[in-house]
Structure 1
Amino acid sequence: MTVDLAAAADFLAGSARVLDRRRFDVLFGDGDPASVLAAVDAYRNPDGGFGWGLEPDLRSRTSQPGGALHAFEALADIAPATSDRARELCDWLDGVSLPDGGLPFALPVPDPAASAPFWASADGRESSLQITAIVAATAHRVAAGDRAVAEHPWLARATGYCLAAVEDIGPQPQAMMLAFAAQLLDAASARFPRAAELVEAIRPHVPADGRLHVTGGADDEYMRPLDFAPLPGGPARTLFSDSVVASDLERLADGQQPDGGWAVDFASYSPAATLEWRGARTVGALVVLRANGVL
């Protein structure tokens, strides 16, 4: 497996938004956390949430759970530095959570231009395990080095909702929901022992090779082992053999394109999103590869 970091930097320079260039710089160069925070702040609203296309296929100005996910990704990247923005984001999430502790897939979108239909038409009155799990999983990554997030009541409520939903996950869970639930169980297991135990609840639904087609997605859009367990050492890794994980790491490393970036396997809903997703995916791929000792 060979990854060309210089080529990735060149790709980001020509094709990525400032946020992802700053993330790359703090992770793999000599960048500083303040620059990442300044870049992500451009997407922040006065209510403490994030919108404005931080989720590339949700172009709405409004603060959204999808925006919170990507804000937490940036906040995780700056560790061990912390920011009050993380606590403020938890405050916002606490305010928009539903009574059962879950987040709606999306809040009402009054300005749906260039947004994916599944975001624009989401039911804001119903909790979504898919979005709650991935937002909370990423928040747990931030919480590992930020006591204000670790002790925030929103994170405990959201985690409790997810654990209960996984326990009652049903006979045919959708691939993306299942993968994000696995990430939540992995990320929460250090502080919530029940999370590690609940890996057994999803094991029957995960094939040995870790490939699950995304219903309604592109023909070649799959959840794969690293979508379930991107980081080593957690209980979700027990879903797969070492050889399956090694093969998926090789696939990910080999996914670097001739232009230095990584591609996505799903359709985007605007020209801006098409470019922005590649930049975000490139940084995300490098984060996973480094965490697994490939870089």
Structure 2
Amino acid sequence: MTKPYIRPRRLRASEPIRALVRETVLTPADFVYPLFVVPGERVRSEIPSMPGIHHLSADMAVEEAKMARGLGIPAVLVFGLPEYKDEQGSSAWDANAPVQRAIARIKDAVPGLAVISDVCMCEYTSHGHCGLIKGDDVDNDATLGLLAKTALSHAVAGADMVAPSDMMDGRVAAIRFALDDNGYDNVSIMSYAAKYASAYYGPFRDAAQSAPQFGDRRSYQMDPANAREALKEVELDIEEGADIVMVKPALAYLDLVRQVKDSFLLPVATYNVSGEYAMVKAAAAQGWIEEKRIVLETLTSFKRAGADIIITYHAPDAVRWLNG
């Protein structure tokens, strides 16, 4: 029997050799760590559907931000639960709201950390939708000014980047104009450009208390069946001034991450969302999977697909495992 002359296994024979030829390498600099901030002081309360992730008051968010920066994670993404909700979500741009307070305190205490703020209305409206309601639907154009006002309040508080997640048409341009007109032309925009109406968001809606009180979000978030539409959405957001574009969720949409990466020159982010995180945590708790290997394999797949930025609740653990 003729022996193989070409043996790919030679380059898999030992860990040092595998490391030399590894094509995709995760580093702490790839990650953004999400934080959920709430009213009060000294609050650190675990979110039941997201083990290891907590609701944090602004002072405790500072401590979490310090931890992240100490691990080498370059940025946090701040979400907020307000003290009050109303029909128009007016607490979203309240200068004394949890997000604005957390941004200011993190930037003061951890100046080397980039702070990104989520810009949406769903956590702040009494009906749980991502904008003003007209009839039975969200009024797209009437919502744009509120999103711009919210983004501007985050910039005033010290945010380095704002991340509109609402999927209203034209919101990137509205935010860009508001920032530029008020002297915040260096605050960048990471747009949730291709955000799908996904069942993977379930635990987040628990964490952010943002489930819609009626209907659903399929009239503004994307149909999971559509790919070409995602490229159109990304192109429009780039034309409106987005600096970074995002595909969300991550795991079931890696084909879109690759298509966006191959089609456009901007940095591409993807969001390893709450449902993806919770499934891993639940299976690991039952001993059905090896959490460390599953997490690092999954995060590597995001980067291999083309993601430059990975937003993930696993970030601190992933860094510890990478450095271990």
Q: What is the TM-score with the length of structure 2 in the denominator?
A: 0.34
Q: What is the TM-score with the length of structure 1 in the denominator?
A: 0.36
Larger Rg: 2
- Give the number of the structure whose residues are more often helix, by fraction: 1
